[in-house]
Structure 1
Amino acid sequence: MEIREPEPDESERIRDVVESSMTTSFRLSPGQIDGITDEEFADDAVSERLEDDETVLYVVETGAEIEDRTIAGVVEGRLADEWGEIDWLFVDPEHRGKGIGTELYESMTERLRDRGADHVRVTVLEENTEGHGFVERFGLEHDGDREVEVAGESLVKYVYTEPDIDVSLPTESRADDATVTADTADEDLPGTETTDGDLTATDDGTTVYIDRDEAESGTAAPFFHTYEDEDRKQQYGYYCANCGSLEVSMDNMERLACPDCGNDHAERSKESYDDSRL
């Protein structure tokens, strides 16, 4: 296995890896995958990355003989002030289980630190059903969400950082500007009050109980599970901590959305993850 910077004329080989990896591991439609692949890894996009001093692009090549060599993985990182960020990491499904993902991650982390990064963060699309578990295996924790526009699609990336880092994440993320987080005091949650020790809200005269311990991340603020009863047996719906709305909807892809403020969240897959796959 050899990890190296790619040549400009290898963009098609890179796109093949990206497309096959996303088809296997991302909960996206074929059209969405084509759009992301074509925009992010087109010939000119790869060339620009290779010429950009702040961006690092690596591929991993397998095969002992020249004629048998193939690109089996891709990773992209960049520098942003004191931060290094790993934006994309793909391993071809046919070459998983060989530690390629780990090698790419560790090589990129080392390179970013060598180039001056004090801290490294990783962004993972919510629709990446396997990437979250992979990143968490390295001790990183979910530390915010970022809404990004990719190939005309509005998508959400989870931002993972090392725990207990007392520095601010760079801006770019809607989560950075959110005034409400899962740790915000009850009195800061709009439209709520405390009733006999329980956090409640009112919907058309009905008292709804809000469970602060059951939170779903949102691009602007969390969503909390709500219940019709104090014992939390009968779920009512969801409460948007950004604006206080109880009109939160969920579609057939388990995407939560607040119609009042635009806060949304696409729940990632709960299927089990095998750390050895990448």
Structure 2
Amino acid sequence: MEIREPKPDEAERILEVVDSSMTSSFRLSPQQIDGITDGQFADEAIAEKIDDEDTQLHVVETGEEIEGTIIAGFVEGRLEDEWGEVNWLFVDPEHRGKGIGTELYETATEALRDRGADHVCVTVLEANTEGHQFVERFGLEHDGDRRIEVAGESLVKYVYTDSDIDVELPTESRADESDAETTEFPETETTDGHLTATNDDGKTVYIARDEEESGTAASFHVTYEDEAHEEQYGYYCANCGSLDVSMDNMERLECRDCGNAHAERSKESYDDSHL
């Protein structure tokens, strides 16, 4: 395989790779996928990224053609303060199992360091059901969250860094986290030092900040009937502030008010071939 920088006239094929990869591996609606591809990977967006000195793009060529092209993968990195950030990485489902994802990741991180990045982080959409375990295989750990707006919806990106890094995340991440703090727990109040919410019947429940499950729009937090957090009540949706959260027999959570959802990611379901 050959890894190189893309040309502006290859934007259409890049979009096809992104779309097929997201359709195959992301727990997103078609409207959400269209919102991401239209905003991030349309012809004009790719052209602007190619011209941006702080953004670096790489594509993978293989010897096998798909629909007249041989581009099988795409990665985007960006310099942000002293950080290098890998914020998108896609491999066409038809070409997985050949180590393309690993080659793209290593190329992007090496290029960012060559251009002066002291540290490298990776951002992965929460809805990317395979991407989290992919980056964890490189020793990276979840170190923060970032929100992005897609077609009027707020989606969450996880920020991954090396476990031994003890410096602030890139400026964009810090700004997003600051904004997130003010809206992290909507429809709540503090009662005697405890974070609480009230259900439709007027019952006060206690929210455990440190007991959370990921969601497609925001986290779910375990709630309790008592201050000591001994009698569990249910779950709280940090996206809309609702306590009307259901759990099915597969332990999948869903907010009945806003549709925020969580599906437990199973390590057994991960395929090493994506590396």
Determine the structure 2 residue equivalent to 1:267: 262
- Count of aligned pairs: 259
Deviation for aligned residue 1:43: 1.1
Determine the structure 2 residue equivalent to 1:139: 139
Determine the structure 2 residue equivalent to 1:79: 79
Q: Give the Cα–Cα distance (whole angstroms) in 2 for the partners of residues 38 and 179 of structure 1.
A: 29
Q: Residue type matched to 2:147 in 1?
A: E
String of CA shifts for 1:182-225, please: whole Å, max 9, x gaps: xxxxxxx963558xxxx795857867565566323589996531
Counterparts in 2 of 1:195-274, with a 5 A limit? Answer: 208=205, 214-216=211-213, 223-228=220-225, 232=230, 235-238=232-235, 247-250=242-245, 254=253, 266-267=261-262, 269-271=264-266, 272-274=269-271
Give the structure-1-normalised TM-score. Answer: 0.77
Q: Give the Cα–Cα distance (whole angstroms) in 2 for the partners of residues 68 and 222 of structure 1.
A: 42
Indicate if the aligned counterparts of 1:74 and 1:90 stay in contact, CA closer than 8 A. yes
Identical pairs, percent: 67
Counterparts in 2 of 1:83-232, with a 5 A limit? Answer: 83-173=83-173, 174-177=176-179, 191-193=190-192, 208=205, 214-216=211-213, 223-228=220-225, 232=230
Question: Computing the radius of gyration over CA atoms, which structure comes out larger, 1 or 2?
Answer: 1
Q: Residue type matched to 1:237 in 2?
A: G
Q: Give the Cα–Cα distance (whole angstroms) in 2 for the partners of residues 59 and 39 of structure 1.
A: 19
Deviation for aligned residue 1:122: 0.9
1:123/1:200 CA distance change after superposition, 3 Å: closer
Indicate if the aligned counterparts of 1:133 and 1:275 stay in contact, CA closer than 8 A. no
Moved over 6 A (4+): 218-222
Deviation for aligned residue 1:118: 0.6
Indicate if the aligned counterparts of 1:63 and 1:69 stay in contact, CA closer than 8 A. no
Deviation for aligned residue 1:135: 1.1
| Consecutive unaligned residues in structure 1, runs of 5 or more | 181-188
Q: Residue type matched to 2:61 in 1?
A: E
Q: Give the Cα–Cα distance (whole angstroms) in 2 for the partners of residues 241 and 149 of structure 1.
A: 16
Shifted more, 217-226 versus 127-136: the winner is: 217-226
Q: Give the Cα–Cα distance (whole angstroms) in 2 for the partners of residues 220 and 33 of structure 1.
A: 14
Indicate if the aligned counterparts of 2:72 and 2:92 stay in contact, CA closer than 8 A. yes
Task: Say which SS state the counterpart of residue 142 (structure 1) adopts.
Answer: strand
Q: Give the Cα–Cα distance (whole angstroms) in 1 for the partners of residues 38 and 203 of structure 2.
A: 50
RMSD: 3.7
Q: Give the Cα–Cα distance (whole angstroms) in 2 for the partners of residues 215 and 169 of structure 1.
A: 22
1:222/1:171 CA distance change after superposition, 3 Å: farther
String of CA shifts for 1:214-257, please: whole Å, max 9, x gaps: 3235899965312347785x631235899xx7x53437884559
Give the structure-2-normalised TM-score. Answer: 0.78
| Consecutive unaligned residues in structure 2, runs of 5 or more | 183-187
Deviation for aligned residue 1:156: 1.2
Q: Give the Cα–Cα distance (whole angstroms) in 1 for the partners of residues 113 and 72 of structure 2.
A: 24
Q: Give the Cα–Cα distance (whole angstroms) in 2 for the partners of residues 220 and 96 of structure 1.
A: 28
Determine the structure 2 residue equivalent to 1:7: 7
1:78/1:251 CA distance change after superposition, 3 Å: farther
Shifted more, 96-105 versus 143-152: the winner is: 143-152
Deviation for aligned residue 1:34: 2.1
Q: Residue type matched to 1:122 in 2?
A: V
Indicate if the aligned counterparts of 1:123 and 1:160 stay in contact, CA closer than 8 A. yes
1:72/1:248 CA distance change after superposition, 3 Å: same
